Amino acid sequence: MDRASPTGQPVTDLVRIMMRTLTVLYISFWASIVIYTAVLLAVPSFSASSSSRSGFLQPLPENWGQWEFLLGALGVVTVYVSHRLRARLLDPERIRRGAANVYELAARLHPRDADAPSGGDDLVRAVQDLLGRTVSRYTILWVLADVPAVLGLLAAMISGSPRLFLALGLISALALFVHRPTRERLEAILGPMAD
């Protein structure tokens, strides 16, 4: 990148790389919900030989209905938290640390070298920091979106009833869909870096 004549091509390449990385991670979180469903379907076949199909705890606690409500509420709360954190975590200014371009970001990451001209290593580290911060913030949202499905699987394994898993799995799937990475958001994050 030449400081005198920045081009949009490096940013386009970065968006492409980041989109590929995020897509692979995003698909893996969707795969986890599919795996939880497969586990749920496989577990009844293991417990079919037992005399009762009420789950792993024999018998269920008397206050199991309250525990189910608590697990369901906790799942909904984590999705709500992920929704509230989304705007804050994916704010382009926060991810870029308020830098107007990659040179300013490099200077902010290495303030002791702010007077010296930025070397190639500083620019590479600045870009790596930008990519790492973006990927980690999406990952935080996806982990929070995955929690309800895990709680539903736990409830299904304990009780032997898939109804809470079905509800919380659907909530997780919707949350993952809402937090999907988009090219427009990545361009909003990286676009000013070409200036």
Whether 59 is covered by a domain: the verdict is: no
Whether 18 is covered by a domain: the verdict is: yes
Tokens, residue 44: 């009844």
Whether 60 is covered by a domain: the verdict is: no
Q: Per the structure, how many domains does the chain have?
A: 1
Digit-coded pLDDT (tens) for 67-110: 999 999 999 999 999 999 999 999 988 888 888 777 777 777 77
Domain range for residue 169? 9-45+65-194
Whether 188 is covered by a domain: the verdict is: yes
Q: How far is CA 82 from the centre of its chain?
A: 9
pTM for the full model? 0.80
Digit-coded pLDDT (tens) for 160-193: 888 999 999 999 999 999 999 988 888 887 776 6
